[in-house]
Amino acid sequence: MAFCASILFGINSIYSQDLDPRAYVWVPVRGNFLVSGFSYSNGAVLTDPSLPLTNLKAEVQAISLGYARSFNLLGKTATAFAAIPYTWAQASADVNNQREEATRSGFADMRMRLVVLLLGAPATELANFGKVKHKPILGSSISISAPTGQFFSDKLINLGTNRWSFKPELAYSHPFGKRWLMDVYSGVYFFTNNNSFYPGNSVRSQKPMGAFQGHLSYNLGPRSWVAFDATFYTGGQSSVNDIYKDDRQSNSRVGATFVFPAGKKHSIKIAASTGAIIRAGANFKTISVGWQTGWFKKPKKQ
């Protein structure tokens, strides 16, 4: 039971480790963006030291399909995004000197996000976008994870969390000349309870978790860039039936991102990251490859 509970925590904690450079980039309104990607993560899961297990490892593969739309929201540039991931996970650990393994495959929780650029990026049509001077941007967002993933109340290993999570976030993006861009984000995850935790009538709760990101990127060309990424997340201690676990996180990750064009309307994104300092949870190495295409709807003639 301890083995399975630890694996559950490790798999689901991947999504709090996101490194997302240029998430608050200014784009013209009436834009449509289709995004797909594949990611592979593997590594160890650091658990409560009182648990009778060692050498806990996991591999997680995921494919995702998402859609984003930019629009005018009260004169501000806003972008709405939604994505659905499908996940495969394999985990193993030594429990009482015996190796145990578990596998799962299915949909993970749906993820949604609304971004609003509050200052420095007024809503602008594509035809006028090149005429406007780019300035520092203050942005905000709300990210939501919906309990749409595979979940069985009589099993401890699940791809879905059977709960909602919300992350409000503030961001500041500052260009330095035409080549360099610095992004910093600060947000907090809030979680609802899972009221059907194993064996089906337990209540699993989790305290809020702070998440901070910093990115420094460099434009290689009109549509290609590279970035150095770092994140730190802290808190998130969990409990089952009001009994708290020793799983409070205080972790950091670093990574790099490379984006380059693939034709006139398409781009490819390659990213890699690894744990820098991990107190608890997933200490994974992750590599991902994504594809994006976009098109803009012309405004109606008056």
Other C-beta atoms within 10 Å of 264: how many? Answer: 7
Structure tokens at 229: 């990424």
Diameter over CA atoms, the chain: 75
> What pLDDT tens digit does each residue of the chain (302 aa) get?
333 333 343 344 445 557 899 999 999 999 999 999 999 988 877 655 555 556 778 888 999 999 999 999 999 999 999 999 999 988 787 766 777 787 889 999 999 999 999 999 999 998 888 777 778 999 999 999 999 999 988 876 678 889 999 999 999 999 998 899 999 999 999 999 999 988 888 999 999 999 999 999 999 988 899 999 999 999 988 888 998 887 788 888 999 999 999 988 899 999 999 887 665 666 788 999 999 999 988 766 65
CATH number corresponding to 20-40+63-86+109-296: 2.40.160.40
